[in-house]
Every structure is written in C-alpha cells, then in structure tokens.
A and B are shown apart, each in its own frame.
Chain A
Amino acid sequence: MAELLLRAENLEKVYGSGDTATHALKGVSFELAEGEFASIVGQSGSGKSTLLNMLGLLDTPTSGMIAYRGQDVSALAKPAQARLRNSLVGFVFQFHHLLPEFSVLENVLMPALIGGKPQVEAKQLAEETLALLGLEGLEDKGANQLSGGQKQRVAIARALMNRPALLLADEPTGNLDTTNTEQVYKLFRQVSAETGTAFLIVTHDRNVAQQTDRILEVLDGELVQDVRNDYAGAPAR
C-alpha cells in the first residue's frame, strides 16, 4: 500500500445559520493514498463541490480536520494555506478559468511564477507540461483563441504545472463533447502514470467513474459508499 497523502476527518460544512442553514456536509471521513486515481459521484446538491473545495483549501470546514502527509492543514493561517494550494494541489473546474489577458504559455506558467520558481526553469517545465497534454504550437495563442477542448487541456496543464501531489477536478469535462471528454480522461490516466499525481475527480457520469480505481459516493452530505473498482482499465464498453 502506498503512503498516505490525505486524511479527511469528520468534515462538516454548514452554510448560513438559523432557519436558512444548509448542512452541506455532515461528517465526511476518508483517506487517500499517494498516486491514487479516484472519483466522487453523487446527485446534484449532494455536497461534492463543497467537499472538493475544502480538500483544496479553497473553503474552510465548519468543523473537522484535513491532513496532508500527516500535517493538519485545516488550522493553518491564510498565507500558509495559499502556499499549499500553490505547491500541493492543482485544480481543474468545469469552467476552464483561464486568464484571458495572457497567452497559453503564460497561463500555464502562472502557478510556477506565483510559487517563485525561476523564469527559465519554469518555462522549460511549462513546455514539457504543454507537450504532455499535446498542446505544442499553441504557446503564444491568446487564452481566448482556443476551442473549448483546448482551453480545458490548457487548464489541466496549468493545474499540473507545479507537479502537485493531488489534482482535484470538479466536473472537468462538463462542458466538453464525448470525444473531448474521453481524451481528457485518457490524459488524466497517462499523467497519473507518468507523474504519480493522485486524482480526485468529481463527476455525475457513472461511465467516467467506472474508469477510476476507486469510487466515493456522496449522498445528502454523507459519504455512503467507498468502493474499489477492479474493472477500471478494462476496455471501454
């Protein structure tokens, strides 16, 4: 068994207060190993995004604990959390969230520059990452001059730029057609194999979930199922 990467303990999230309070998460606990390739499924409104945002330190849990590699990060100060977001995790969202003012290369470079990596080193890494996602030749294009599929691949390249230990993806193919969707998941698999990055992918698509090694199911803010999926990697139906 690989080393433990992430431990979530009794995560709760309550939005608002009083009569209008929404109990989005009601005590979620699970562990994730380094390099694991897992998915989170569940109905709309079940709390998947809430969980993912908290794991990525974008949102703070109302109670509970998150630990990365044995270190409790939920109590860290904001600047320290920001640094961890930069170095430890990568995000891919349903919407690509690229910076329209910058070129493809600059968008991919951004996490490295925020992390303070030297320009030359960062540029080489960005080129490698773009190549990994089959985006060679698009470096100097504006982020707005790409197709939907290309944009999402650039967003993935950006998320992988700092070689995070964990890539969090929230419906990353929600805006893509079937062909592009398949391409993205093939890339995820490939990157996971090549870089050892762990993946946690939120999806409502059972077919997509079936291709991951582990499926976590959230229902009404609770983790109701956590199954190992031995069919993953089997030829697609």
Chain B
Amino acid sequence: MLPLRIALRFLKTSRVQSTLIIAGIAVGIAVQIFVGSLITSLQDSLVQQTIGSTSQVTITALDEGEPFVVDARVRNVAESDARVKPGAIAPTLSVNGLYSNGNESTPLALKGGDLKSLDAISSISKRITAGVARLGRGDILIGTDFAEKFTLSPGDSIRITFSGNKTRTLTIAGIFDLGSAAVNARQAFVNAEVPRSLLGWRTDEYAALEAQLLQPFDSAEVAATWRQQLPNLRVVEWQAQNADLLTALQSQGSSSYMIQAFVLIAVALGIASTLAISAVQKTRQIGILKAMGMGDAEAGRIFLWQAALLGVGGTLSGLALGFFLLWGFSFAGASFTITPKPTFIAFSAAVGIIVALLSSIIPIRKTSALDPIEVIQGG
C-alpha cells in the first residue's frame, strides 16, 4: 500500500507531467479505438453491401446456364447445414433481357423465384421504396437507379426483349433499394414462370440454388463440404467471385493494424520516457526511502503503480475521447455507421494498460538497483 501512496503523491506533485502523459495515452487509445472501429465498420459495411443481399454460396449445374433438378437430396444438403442462415435458401432461375425506351436501352438481369425465398436472400420486401412487394405472373420488381434513369413508377408497364426476339410485357409492382447502385440499376425480380417459359425448362428445373450463411466468411468451407456431397453440381462461394474485394479488405485491414501498432509504439515510448524521467527526478527520494529501510522491490513498485495509474487514467480518458470521436463521426454524413465492438474496445483498453505496465520496466530496474549510499553521500 505504501508504494501506491507514494506513487499517487509523486504523480500529484508533478501534475503537469502527469496530465500530459495521461493526455498522450488518451489520444493514442482514442485513435486506436477510432481507427480500428472505423475500418472494421467500413469493411462490414462493404461486405454487407456486396454480399448482404446476394447469394453467398451458390449451387449450379456443372455447365453454368444449364438447368438442374432441385430435388430433396440437393435441398437437404443446404438445409441440414447449421452454418446456413435458417430459411435463407432460394431456388432461382435467371434470364438476361434488354429494356429500351426508344432512345436508350440497358441490359436487365431478371431473377425468377417465389417472393418468400427471394426475400430470404435479398430481403426485397423490406427494401421496397415505392409500390408493393408482389410477384404475380405479370409483375416485376425493379431497382431505384433503373427506375430513376427511365423515370418509371409502380403501375407502369415495361417491355423487355430477350434472345430469339422473344418479348414480355410486365407491370412494375414495386421499386427496391438493395443498397448497391449496380444492383439497383441492373437487377430485377420476376415470377419464376417468366424465365421458365422463356427458357422452356421443367418446373423442377432451376439455374441455381442460392444460400446465405450466418457467417459470410465461412463460405469457402461450406462450399468445400457441399462440393463433396454434390459431385455432379458446381458449388461457388462468394469469395471466389469477389477476389478483388477480398484483397482490398485485406490490405485495408493490414494498413489499419499498422497505424494502430505505430500509435501504440508512440504511446509506449511516451510513457517509458516520462517514467524514466520521473525515476531520475525522484532518485534522491528513492535513496532516502531505501536508507530508511524500504526494500528494493517495494521501491520499484512505486513506479509500477505510477505506470498502472497513468495507464488506467490514460486508457479511461482514451475510451471517453474515442467514443466522443465516434459520436462526432456520426454527424459526418458517411454512408455507413460505426459500431464499436465491445471485444475490440476491451482489447484496446487492455493494450493501453499493458503497454503502460511494460514501459515501467526500465524505471523499475533503475529504482531497484539504486544504492542509497549514492544519494546519502551525494548530499
């Protein structure tokens, strides 16, 4: 207890120094929390945008574009896997068409399926911005960007041309926003009958069985398992289709770790030098205390306590400052929100305190080794 009391007094009597170092730790920890949370949230948001409303593991025929029969056995492989988001399995058909309003035309990918299973993958119903979510035989759901480009609204009829000069006229039931401009401009949803009749497939034949997972990053493992169980079909995971995105995420992640590591090193150097200076400044006092019978280890503990107090004080201030920065960021109008993860916050706090404790090693060694006679003789 005595070393703690002395540590507190030493810190209190050099108030400016203590405040500065606490501020230093606080800024370091705040930056660590802010940058770390920012990058993680940005990545989550990117991943969510890219794959949140699409299939994460897709089963198709070996020749893509060919039909395959979605029977009980195939369904069971996906349904019985605990890593699949419950109910998030959808057999779909796809067909590409061309929409033209006379002077401008654009390709449109039609995905056919029943609304319930499409919802399980893309949550279309929740993302309808105009009209209703309905997929009758003559209905089509289009994206906001597509609707805007051609000034279309629910109730309008559009004529779409397919290969072989086939056409279909469909009525816009609703307009969705799936969070990605590319999807909103090119993707449309229709009743399964639309592509089926165009392709001439049987009712149990589909182009793909789509699935979403509880943990999107499990998809490679899931795909590997399914591949073994379904040797006559193709199983593709989203990572394989989005290698660029993964590389980007990875390099973003490592640059974030670099920033955090350098900030922590700066903080550690700051605490270490402050404590070392403090240990030198207090040499006389330590010598006197030792002359009065204080043990080497106990004298060293004065600086361990100083480090602990500075570390805890700095880290707590850093947490406050970090949350303040995150709160301030919420007004910056970014396209995503930062949600700090409790485990990451706890990790940052632990790192702050551990770094502080580690940086007390040198002053503690110095203090323990000090011979009181040096101080007493020196006067």
Contact = CB atoms under 8 A, between A and B. Distances in A.
Interface of A: 49, 53, 58-59, 78-79, 82-87, 91, 93-95, 97, 99-102, 110-111, 113-115, 158
A110 B289 contact: yes
A86 B292 contact: yes
Given A100-B285, A113-B5, 19 more contacts: A53-B376, A58-B372, A58-B373, A78-B296, A84-B293, A85-B292, A85-B293, A86-B292, A86-B293, A86-B294, A91-B292, A91-B376, A93-B376, A97-B376, A99-B288, A100-B13, A101-B10, A110-B292, A113-B2
7 contacts: A83-B293, A91-B292, A97-B376, A99-B285, A99-B288, A99-B289, A101-B10
Contacts of A87: 293
Interface in B305-331: none
Contact of B9 (A58, A85, A101): A101
Contacts of A97: 284, 288, 291, 376
B367 to A, nearest CB: 14
Nearest to B292: A111
Given A58-B372, A101-B13, A102-B9, A94 B379 contact: yes
B131 interface: no
B290 interface: yes
B253 interface: no
Contacts of A59: 373
Interface string B3-20: 001000110110000000
* Residue of B12, B292, B373, B379 most packed against chain A (CB within 10 A): B292
B295 interface: yes
Interface residues of B, number: 23
B288 A114 contact: no
A226 B296 CA distance: 37
A97 B289 CA distance: 10
Interface in B347-379: 372-373, 376-377, 379
Contacts of B285: 99-101
A60 B88 CA distance: 81
A87 B292 CA distance: 9
Contacts of B291: 58, 85, 91, 97
- Residue among B5, B288, B289, B377 having the largest count of chain A Cβ atoms under 10 Å: B288
A93 B288 CA distance: 11
Contacts of B373: 53, 58-59
Nearest to B293: A86
B293 A58 contact: no
Contacts of B290: 82
B14 to A, nearest CB: 9
Nearest to B12: A101
In this complex, which of B290, B296, B376, B379 has the most chain A Cβ atoms within 10 angstroms of its Cβ?
A: B376
Nearest to A93: B376
Contacts of A79: 295-296
Nearest to B297: A79
Contacts of A158: 292
Nearest to A60: B373
Contacts of B288: 97, 99
Contacts of B294: 82, 86, 114
Nearest to A90: B292
A111 B2 CA distance: 11
A53 B374 CA distance: 11
A59 B375 CA distance: 12
A84 B293 CA distance: 7
A114 B376 contact: no
Contacts of B293: 82-87, 111, 114-115
A78 B295 CA distance: 8
A47 to B, nearest CB: 13
B133 to A, nearest CB: 73
Contacts of B284: 97
Contacts of A85: 291-293
Contacts of B2: 113-114
Interface centre among A59, A83, A95, A114 (most CB of B within 10 A): A114
Which of A84, A97, A113, A158 has most B Cβ within 10 Å? A97
